[in-house]
Amino acid sequence: MTRRQFVEAASMMGAVGLVELSGCARPHDQAVLPAPPVASLREVGASRGILAGCAIQIARLRDTPAYAQLVREQAGIVVEENAFKFTQRLRPSPTEFFFGDTDYLVQFAEANGMKVRGHNFVWHRSLPAWFDGYMTPANAEAVLVEHIERVGGRYAGRIHSWDVMNEAIRVEDGLPGGMRDTPWRKLLGDGYIDSAFRTARRVDPKALLVYNDYGIEGEGDKPAAKREAVMALLRGMQQRGVPVDALGVQSHLDAGRGDVYGPGLMAMLAEVRAMGLKVLLTEMDVNDKWLASPIPARDAGVAEVYGNYLKTTLADPGVIALLTWGITDRYTWLNGEASRSDKLPERDLPFDVQLQPKPAFFAELEALRGAPRRG
């Protein structure tokens, strides 16, 4: 049974409940029903006014046609995991820019009617090797402004939303406002964030400008403290007239740890909406490293988190987009991290290494189907 046949059969049933934990639909040997259109996250999301998509990897788009076809089928919005970052690849030197990957991404997306996210202008990680030796308090503002002018300007009008600032909050650093002690902050003070957003607005007035962060989803003291700092940052930006349009909630979640997504998260989403800002779920995946090895139970545990989290968050009409951080376990970033103790590959995304849909796919599909229609 091909993936397309499987998804058609499963979408005929219309509900996750009919899909067994193993992720395979029960054989449907009696009914003779018309084949409905193949269910896709992109199409079901669009039917609710939600942009559903995923992070992609340019190299795999280029060299793996089946992956590119899966992305076309399932993603109404894409972001590249790394191509737009201020890295050695994009910025080989202080005077050079490499746009080969970003041009390919934007052209692929536009050829397939997809929106594109830019990720990201300012971050404390993955900076070029020349950064520390070249940057000074005297040149840093000019370097930051030129970076946004050259990268943002190249694609002005073609980017749905930019993660202008990524992960500026780290309460553990003990700085005022819970600010992370980033290389840019060391060079420019806290004002670097306002400067980046003001430059981004000037360079691409059409793009939604997003502040993106993680660890603000769960209940408990640590996420609550980080949420408080993130909200204070956003309120301060608004009070200073800094152009910010949305909060990006990365949504890197864990299965098997009993995490609860509820009051604190929903209160934050409601406050963001009351501030006139939108919310994007920008990098969702569900780490299965805390679950025992057998695949059916792991997939069920991951799907349960997808379902619970998305039914909770998508209930807020301010949530306009949902991207998973990858579409298939085959290329998940999690296998490069401190991953499972049994060394088995992670199963954190909607499609497995054979590009077949998993229970997590149906949980996401059902959550999208049940979300209130936007706009």
Nearest to 80 by CA among 288, 368, 323, 348: 323
**Token reading at 260:** 């609860």
DSSP state of 286: E
C-beta atoms surrounding 18 within 10 Å = 14
Q: In the complex, what is the shortest distance from the CB of residue 35 to ligand G3I, in angstroms, rounded to a whole number?
A: 36
Q: In the complex, what is the shortest distance from the CB of residue 126 to ligand G3I, in angstroms, rounded to a whole number?
A: 4
Q: Is 183 in the site for ligand G3I (CB under 6 A)?
A: no
DSSP bridge partners of 163: 119, 210
Q: Is 80 in the site for ligand G3I (CB under 6 A)?
A: no
Q: In angstroms, rounded to a whole number, what is the distance separating the alpha carbons of residues 145 and 203? A: 10
Nearest to 115 by CA among 62, 157, 148, 85: 157
Q: Is 235 in the site for ligand G3I (CB under 6 A)?
A: no
Q: In the complex, what is the shortest distance from the CB of residue 367 to ligand G3I, in angstroms, rounded to a whole number?
A: 22
Class of residue 60 by CB neighbours under 10 A (exposed 0-12, middle 13-18, buried 19+): middle
Annotate 19-60 with DSSP letters as a single string: B-TTS-BPP--S-----PPPP-HHHHHHHTT-EEEEEE-HHH
Q: Is 4 in the site for ligand G3I (CB under 6 A)?
A: no
Q: In the complex, what is the shortest distance from the CB of residue 166 to ligand G3I, in angstroms, rounded to a whole number?
A: 6
Q: In angstroms, rounded to a whole number, what is the distance separating the alpha carbons of residues 270 and 249? A: 13
Q: Is 250 in the site for ligand G3I (CB under 6 A)?
A: yes
Q: Is 162 in the site for ligand G3I (CB under 6 A)?
A: no
Total residues in contact with ligand G3I, by rule CB under 6 A: 10
Q: In angstroms, rounded to a whole number, what is the distance separating the alpha carbons of residues 336 and 176? A: 33
**46 with 75: CB under 8 angstroms?**
no
Nearest to 42 by CA among 333, 321, 253, 332: 321
Of the pair 23, 118, the CB lying nearest ligand G3I is at 118
**52 with 45: CB under 8 angstroms?**
yes
Whether 141 is a known active-site residue: answer no
Of the pair 89, 311, the CB lying nearest ligand G3I is at 89
Q: In angstroms, rounded to a whole number, what is the distance separating the alpha carbons of residues 62 and 227? A: 38
Q: In angstroms, rounded to a whole number, what is the distance separating the alpha carbons of residues 190 and 184? A: 9
**Site stretch for ligand G3I (CB under 6 A), options 4-12, 81-89, 106-114, 261-269:** 81-89
Of the pair 11, 282, the CB lying nearest ligand G3I is at 282
Of the pair 3, 170, the CB lying nearest ligand G3I is at 170
Q: In the complex, what is the shortest distance from the CB of residue 88 to ligand G3I, in angstroms, rounded to a whole number?
A: 7
69: Cβ contacts below 8 Å, ≥ 6 apart: none
Q: Is 257 in the site for ligand G3I (CB under 6 A)?
A: no
Q: In the complex, what is the shortest distance from the CB of residue 83 to ligand G3I, in angstroms, rounded to a whole number?
A: 9
Q: In the complex, what is the shortest distance from the CB of residue 122 to ligand G3I, in angstroms, rounded to a whole number?
A: 12
Whether 172 is a known active-site residue: answer no
Q: Which of 217, 245, 254, 283 binds ligand G3I (CB under 6 A)?
A: 283
Of the pair 351, 362, the CB lying nearest ligand G3I is at 351
Q: Is 251 in the site for ligand G3I (CB under 6 A)?
A: no
Which one of 8, 73, 80, 283 is the catalytic residue? 283
Of residues 317-346, those binding ligand G3I (CB under 6 A): 333
In the shown chain, the binding pattern of residues 103 to 132 toward ligand G3I, with x for contact by CB under 6 A and - for none, equals: ----------------------xx------
Helix axes 263-274, 295-313, angle to 10 degrees: 40
Which one of 73, 80, 167, 364 is the catalytic residue? 167
Of residues 203-222, those binding ligand G3I (CB under 6 A): 214
Q: Is 89 in the site for ligand G3I (CB under 6 A)?
A: yes
Q: Give the residues lining the site for ligand G3I (CB under 6 A).
A: 81-82, 89, 125-126, 166, 214, 250, 283, 333
Positions marked active-site: 167, 283
